[in-house]
């Protein structure tokens, strides 16, 4: 029998609470410039939340925007096959790809994320999206928490944006979800 560590259990409880916010919270009108895109799932509605104070807007080469905490810095690593960017705080690492080359085959997600991953279908800026939460042990036997978001029709291989966050802290996964909610597509998709 497999038991989760206290940190994993706490992260799962926070995720469960966070994804079960009442639908009435989604109906509150808010200014579009001050509010992130609200992901919505048929089973797990997400509350629309204001962008946290101090977060800065990132323009991904005119294709989409998103917001990051002030401690995240651009690593200046770009892509050759597609639009790619990476940011880090030293503790949390974020990468994104616009129209990623060779995206995840939906039917192979368990091979990539391992058994026990959590999958949520949601809406990001009006587009069907898939969020995968998973974890693994690194070479030093430390737990690494991951959140992988695919904006677009992943089962049919039509991914617009892929964004991934990894950290050794489960609290950063909550930050990742907030980042994901702020994605706004600029190009006509």
pLDDT tens track for 10-54: 444 434 434 443 333 333 332 323 333 333 334 434 445 689 999
What pLDDT is attached to residue 44?
Answer: 39
What pLDDT is attached to residue 176?
Answer: 96
Domain that holds residue 111: 6-185
From start to end of the chain, where are the E strands?
56-60, 64-68, 73-74, 83-88, 92-98, 118-124, 127-137, 143-153, 158-167, 184-185
- Tally the domains of the chain: 1
Per-residue pLDDT tens for 105-143? 777 787 788 788 899 999 999 999 999 999 999 999 999
Task: Classify residue 150: in a domain, yes or no.
Answer: yes
Task: Classify residue 137: in a domain, yes or no.
Answer: yes
Pick left, alpha or beta for residue 102 (phi over 0 → left; psi -120 to 50 → alpha; otherwise beta): left
Residue owning tokens 């104070």: 53
- Cα-Cα-Cα-Cα dihedral sign, residues 131, 136, 138, 143: positive
What pLDDT is attached to residue 84?
Answer: 92
What pLDDT is attached to residue 189?
Answer: 60
DSSP code, position 36: -
How far apart are alpha carbons 124 and 121 in whole angstroms? 10
From start to end of 89-126, where are the E strands?
92-98, 118-124
Task: Classify residue 108: in a domain, yes or no.
Answer: yes
Average pLDDT over residues 179-189: 86
Task: Classify residue 1: in a domain, yes or no.
Answer: no
Strands 92-98, 158-167: pairing kind? antiparallel
Task: Classify residue 169: in a domain, yes or no.
Answer: yes
Confidence of residue 78 (pLDDT cuts 50, 70, 90): low
- Residue 17's CATH number: 2.60.120.1690
Most confident stretch, 19-23, 171-175, 183-187: 171-175
How far apart are alpha carbons 168 and 99 in whole angstroms? 28
DSSP code, position 146: E
- 69 pLDDT more than 60: yes
**Among residues 133, 139, 151, which one has the least CA distance to residue 96?**
151
Task: Classify residue 70: in a domain, yes or no.
Answer: yes
How far apart are alpha carbons 2 and 54 in whole angstroms? 40
Q: pTM for this structure?
A: 0.72
Confidence of residue 82 (pLDDT cuts 50, 70, 90): confident
Per-residue pLDDT tens for 137-165? 999 999 999 999 999 999 988 999 999 99
């Amino acid at each position: 029998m497999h038991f989760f560590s206290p940190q994993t259990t706490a992260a799962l409880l926070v995720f469960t609470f966070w994804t079960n916010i009442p639908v009435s919270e989604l109906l509150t009108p808010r200014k579009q410039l001050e509010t992130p895109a609200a992901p919505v799932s048929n089973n797990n509605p997400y509350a629309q939340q204001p962008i946290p104070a101090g977060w800065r807007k990132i323009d991904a080469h005119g294709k989409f925007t998103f917001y990051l905490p002030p401690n995240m810095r651009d690593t200046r690593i770009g892509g050759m096959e597609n639009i790619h960017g990476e940011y880090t705080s030293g503790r949390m690492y974020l990468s994104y790809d616009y129209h990623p080359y060779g995206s995840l085959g939906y039917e192979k997600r368990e091979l990539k994320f391992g058994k026990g991953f959590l999958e949520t279908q949601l809406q990001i800026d009006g587009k069907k999206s898939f969020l995968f939460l998973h974890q693994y042990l690194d070479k030093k036997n430390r737990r690494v928490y991951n959140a992988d978001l695919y904006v677009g029709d992943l089962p049919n291989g039509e991914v617009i944006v892929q964004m991934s966050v990894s950290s050794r802290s489960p609290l950063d996964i909550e930050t990742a979800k907030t980042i994901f909610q702020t994605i706004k597509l600029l190009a006509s998709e």
